[in-house]
Chains A and B, each alone.
Chain A
Amino acid sequence: MISLAGRDILNTWGKFIFTGIGLGLLIGVTLTMAGVYRGMVDDGKALLDNSGADLWVVQQDTLGPYAESSSINDDLYRSILSMPGVAEAANVTYLTMQVRQGRRDVRAMVVGVVAGSSGKPGWPPYLVAGRQITRSHYEAVADIATGFELGDRIQVRRNQYTVVGLTRRMVSSSGDPMVFIPLKDAQEVQFLKDNDAVLQQRRRTAENPMLNRPGVPGLLDAVIATQSSNPYVNAVLVRIRPGFSAEGIARPIRRWQRLTAYTRSQMEEILIGKLIATSSRQIGMFLVILAIVSAAIVAFIIYTLTMDKIREIAVLKLIGTRNRTIAAMIMQQAVVLGVIGFVVGKVTATFAAPYFPKYVLLMPLDSVTGFFAVLMICVLASLVAIRMALKVDPAEAIGG
């Protein structure tokens, strides 16, 4: 038996190809949206992987340092380091901001790490060019996604930094590339006020009789000194020794240090379950809408193509063609349209993904799922046309 659907498609291949391309672009957008979500999840995991930590110690009852702001004293790491099972503990700060280079600026997450302690938690695990930060001030390591190059001078708040190293795939949970600078500078960045504000604050402090007592010399200077420094960090990243459990170390930190400690799995839950939950729901809604639009388009196209063949269908029925042969013809056309659309969509998404500003991760499993979803949508969409075709009276071929 010849394939009626195949012959019809060959006869009107131009219509099918162009319709398939149109549908394919829509499917390409759908696959890219799924890729954007996967990219967000992967960014979150990359953030955790690249931090090199087994435990995140943050301000009590906060979801810091990525999902909420967290502030803890920068000397707390010492007491954590003295705990059994703790191999390394390092202060770290995170601040997402605009980093300037000449006239352009780049949105980046500025990470403060302790200078000269390369390899500790928080540091970029590898470089693709240059070296790690060795000086306590004004050196930076940047992710290549920032577009900075070795030797570039970049400005973070009032200070200028020289890019001494480049790393790759070091991004925040929202996909912003990271710029690493020395911890002391980073603490200042978080705290730094403009000169006018500093002068105003000093004047106000001096005019406060409680802080500028005539009988207590040196008090005003001490108060001003505390106002001019920032002894806080956002988190302490902890790496534990082999054979110790992260939860076993987190428990005493929570109980005795009055801090909150998260293990890797808990931090992953915060990032994926809370931080990007709204975005993933948003993308989910887009995927549902795109699926409905795709189904409507396929249904409309197949319905129109079937309407164009009403007389032929009546003739086919009159000469004894089975209903299932006619239904199969329509369904096969819908499926072929879906397959053309999927191939075009997959190619489009693959070639377009690198041009997106944020990471788009196209996973083979998503493609397989998408392929079967497209087939299912096409089969369902063809049912309207099949129903209409089966209603056609063979007597219509005779006329009268």
Chain B
Amino acid sequence: MNKGIVIEGMRKRYGTGDTAVDALKKVDMQVEPGEVVGLIGPSGSGKSTLLKSLGAVIDPSAGRMMLGGEVIYDEGWKAPDLRALRRDKIGFVFQAPYLIPFLDVTDNVALLPMLAGLPNGEARQRALDLLTALDVQHRARAMPSQLSGGEQQRVAIARGLVNRPPVILADEPTAPLDSERAMSVIRILNDMAKKYETAIIVVTHDEKIIPTFKRIYHIRDGVTHEEVGERRGFD
């Protein structure tokens, strides 16, 4: 069984009757643990709706979705506690880091395991380990406003990984960064995917990083297509 992401025949319709809009018409995706795949599509293609469905913040109208080997949606049925599911199974990395401005770097990362019930000391140690792995341990006591854009994004990645979720959703994580920092972020995501056996979907428009994905899904008018052919991937 795929312990990463499995989506089969997902549809999402907004509204009813004549005003109904099908944002997702047919979405099929599979991402294996340890794999980083790209999701590319023009504006209005349904990327955000797909990401929200994957993030368990909106319910699909039909289809089946599994995250980390657990069925989340299945033809109208949904898992009972989506909030806990988001906390334990999904890591989020946004276009902007959206760090909590009143928590320092360590606590921004440690907050999730604390919310999951881990003792404060253990949660902070786990956060420090990740910050060390992402090479921002020297900014552990800094406030988010004192970090550079690249450092903020690395802290955001640490926050996404800290609960060791089987799935990470990254929404244009390199958009605010220059080429060098963008490649650094993609390298980190690839390393982390391998290290923690995490399935990662990266939504992007960034031409520079598209060649780094071994597999890419295109989405257009609510329908996904996997790009055919051998890709270089991240070296």
Which of B57, B100, B159 is the one whose CB lies under 8 Å from A393?
A: B57
A398-B57, A400-B51 in contact; A312/B86 too (CB < 8 A)?
Answer: no
Instruction: Report Cα–Cα, A321/B113, bound state, in Å.
Output: 11
A320 near B84 with CB under 8 A, answer yes
Instruction: Report Cα–Cα, A8/B92, bound state, in Å.
Output: 23
User: Is residue A10 contacting chain B, with contact meaning CB distance below 8 A?
Assistant: yes
Which of B51, B58, B98, B171 is the one whose CB lies under 8 Å from A312?
A: B98
Among residues of B, the one whose C-beta sits closest to the C-beta of A322 is B83
Within 367-400 of A, Cβ neighbours of B (below 8 Å) are at 393-395, 397-400
In the assembled complex, which residues on chain A have CB atoms less than 8 Å from the CB atom of B88? Answer: 320
1/0 per residue, CB under 8 A from B, across A280-321: the answer is 000000000000000000000000000000011001111111
Instruction: Report Cα–Cα, A319/B156, bound state, in Å.
Output: 12
Which of A11, A312, A395, A399 is the one whose CB lies under 8 Å from B143?
A: A11
A395-B57, A395-B58, A398-B51 in contact; A2/B111 too (CB < 8 A)?
Answer: yes
In the assembled complex, which residues on chain B have CB atoms less than 8 Å from the CB atom of A321? Answer: 87, 115
1/0 per residue, CB under 8 A from A, across B86-103: the answer is 111000101100101111
Chain B CB within 10 A, most for which of A12, A319, A321, A394: A319
B103 near A7 with CB under 8 A, answer yes
A320-B84, A325-B115 in contact; A2/B48 too (CB < 8 A)?
Answer: no
User: Is residue B114 contacting chain A, with contact meaning CB distance below 8 A?
Assistant: yes
A319 near B58 with CB under 8 A, answer no
User: Is residue B52 contacting chain A, with contact meaning CB distance below 8 A?
Assistant: yes
User: Is residue A128 contacting chain B, with contact meaning CB distance below 8 A?
Assistant: no
Chain B CB within 10 A, most for which of A4, A11, A321, A398: A398
In the assembled complex, which residues on chain B have CB atoms less than 8 Å from the CB atom of A2? Answer: 103, 107, 110-111, 114, 120
User: Is residue B112 contacting chain A, with contact meaning CB distance below 8 A?
Assistant: yes
Instruction: Report Cα–Cα, A317/B57, bound state, in Å.
Output: 10
In the assembled complex, which residues on chain A have CB atoms less than 8 Å from the CB atom of B55? Answer: 318, 394-395, 398
Q: How large is the interface on A (under 10, 10 to 19, 20 to 34, 35 or more residues)?
A: 20 to 34
B57 near A319 with CB under 8 A, answer no
A7-B103, A319-B87 in contact; A397/B98 too (CB < 8 A)?
Answer: yes
1/0 per residue, CB under 8 A from B, across A1-25: the answer is 1101001101110000000000000
B102 near A10 with CB under 8 A, answer yes
Q: How far is the CB of A37 from chain B (nearest CB, A)?
A: 42
User: Is residue B49 contacting chain A, with contact meaning CB distance below 8 A?
Assistant: yes
Instruction: Report Cα–Cα, A325/B114, bound state, in Å.
Output: 12
Q: How large is the interface on B (under 10, 10 to 19, 20 to 34, 35 or more residues)?
A: 20 to 34
In the assembled complex, which residues on chain A have CB atoms less than 8 Å from the CB atom of B64? Answer: none
In the assembled complex, which residues on chain A have CB atoms less than 8 Å from the CB atom of B85? Answer: 320
Instruction: Report Cα–Cα, A10/B100, bound state, in Å.
Output: 13
Instruction: Report Cα–Cα, A308/B6, bound state, in Å.
Output: 37
In the assembled complex, which residues on chain B have CB atoms less than 8 Å from the CB atom of A4? Answer: 100, 102-103
A1 near B48 with CB under 8 A, answer no
Among residues of A, the one whose C-beta sits closest to the C-beta of B47 is A400
Within 43-98 of B, Cβ neighbours of A (below 8 Å) are at 47-49, 51-52, 55, 57-58, 83-88, 92, 94-95, 98
B171 near A398 with CB under 8 A, answer yes
Instruction: Report Cα–Cα, A322/B86, bound state, in Å.
Output: 11
Instruction: Report Cα–Cα, A12/B101, bound state, in Å.
Output: 10
Q: How far is the CB of B142 from chain A (nearest CB, A)?
A: 13
Instruction: Report Cα–Cα, A399/B95, bound state, in Å.
Output: 9
Chain B CB within 10 A, most for which of A8, A315, A318: A318
Q: How far is the CB of B160 from chain A (nearest CB, A)?
A: 9
1/0 per residue, CB under 8 A from A, across B109-146: the answer is 01110111000100000000000000000000001000
Instruction: Report Cα–Cα, A325/B112, bound state, in Å.
Output: 13
A11-B102, A11-B143, A319-B87 in contact; A397/B94 too (CB < 8 A)?
Answer: yes
A400 near B52 with CB under 8 A, answer yes
Among residues of A, the one whose C-beta sits closest to the C-beta of B87 is A320
In the assembled complex, which residues on chain A have CB atoms less than 8 Å from the CB atom of B98? Answer: 311-312, 315, 397
Instruction: Report Cα–Cα, A320/B112, bound state, in Å.
Output: 8
Among residues of B, the one whose C-beta sits closest to the C-beta of A2 is B107
In the assembled complex, which residues on chain B have CB atoms less than 8 Å from the CB atom of A322? Answer: 83, 115
Chain A CB within 10 A, most for which of B51, B83, B107: B83
Q: How far is the CB of A9 from chain B (nearest CB, A)?
A: 8
In the assembled complex, which residues on chain A have CB atoms less than 8 Å from the CB atom of B101? Answer: 11, 312
A398 near B83 with CB under 8 A, answer no
1/0 per residue, CB under 8 A from B, across A260-290: the answer is 0000000000000000000000000000000
Instruction: Report Cα–Cα, A65/B106, bound state, in Å.
Output: 75
A399 near B171 with CB under 8 A, answer yes
B87 near A399 with CB under 8 A, answer no
21 residue pairs of the A-B complex, CB under 8 angstroms, read A1-B115, A2-B107, A4-B103, A312-B101, A315-B100, A318-B55, A318-B86, A319-B111, A320-B83, A320-B88, A321-B115, A393-B57, A394-B55, A394-B57, A395-B52, A398-B48, A398-B55, A399-B94, A399-B171, A400-B49, A400-B52
9 nearest A-B residue pairs (beta carbon): A400-B48, A320-B87, A11-B102, A8-B102, A395-B57, A320-B86, A7-B102, A315-B98, A394-B57
Q: A1-B114, A1-B120, A394-B55 are in contact. List 11 more A-B contacts (CB 8 A).
A: A4-B103, A317-B83, A319-B111, A320-B83, A320-B84, A320-B115, A395-B52, A395-B58, A397-B94, A398-B171, A399-B94
